[in-house]
Amino acid sequence: MPDPTPMDIFETVRAKALTILKMTFMETERSWPGDDSPEVIGMFMPLLGIGVAAASEHYAQHPEHLALAGSPICVVCREPIQTLQVGVDPAPESENTGMVSVAWPCGHFQHQAEE
């Protein structure tokens, strides 16, 4: 499966917002007035805006999830990653055996597993 584009993410958020509205009408036992009705559009636009804001915040906090140029992005320098090297942290303390991911070619640590 190819990495999602920003338009794919928008379409997913848009579809979920519409589903939420339809479920709201169903739960209140009101008939669905139609996708183009002023009532639906008046509720849909703010809901879509919240969804876009939430998705934007997520990708701002987790740039490694955003696929630009078909590859993940380093969480430190925000450059595309060619590969991730995963292994034990080579820290000087011998008791530290936590797994880490290092981005290549930049060499920045991506995350360290919780012990």
Q: Is residue 40 situated within a structural domain?
A: yes
Q: Is residue 18 situated within a structural domain?
A: yes
Q: What is the mean pLDDT of residues 50-64?
A: 80
Residue 23 CA, chain-centre distance (Å), reads: 24
Q: Is residue 41 situated within a structural domain?
A: yes
Number of domains composing the chain: 2
**pLDDT beyond 80 at 59:** no
Residue 98 CA, chain-centre distance (Å), reads: 26
- At residue 84 the predicted structure's pLDDT band, cuts being 50, 70 and 90, is confident
Q: Is residue 98 situated within a structural domain?
A: yes
- Tell me: do 53 and 76 sit in the same domain: no
- Tell me: do 42 and 79 sit in the same domain: no
- pTM score, whole prediction: 0.50
Q: Is residue 54 situated within a structural domain?
A: yes
Q: Mind listing the pLDDT tens digit for each residue in 1-53?
A: 466 677 887 888 889 899 999 999 999 999 999 888 998 899 999 988 898 88
Range of the domain at 113: 71-115
- Closest C-alpha to 74, from 114, 104, 113, 99: 104
- Tell me: do 54 and 22 sit in the same domain: yes
Q: Is residue 106 situated within a structural domain?
A: yes
Lowest mean pLDDT across 22-26, 29-33, 83-87, 110-114 = 110-114
- Tell me: do 55 and 10 sit in the same domain: yes
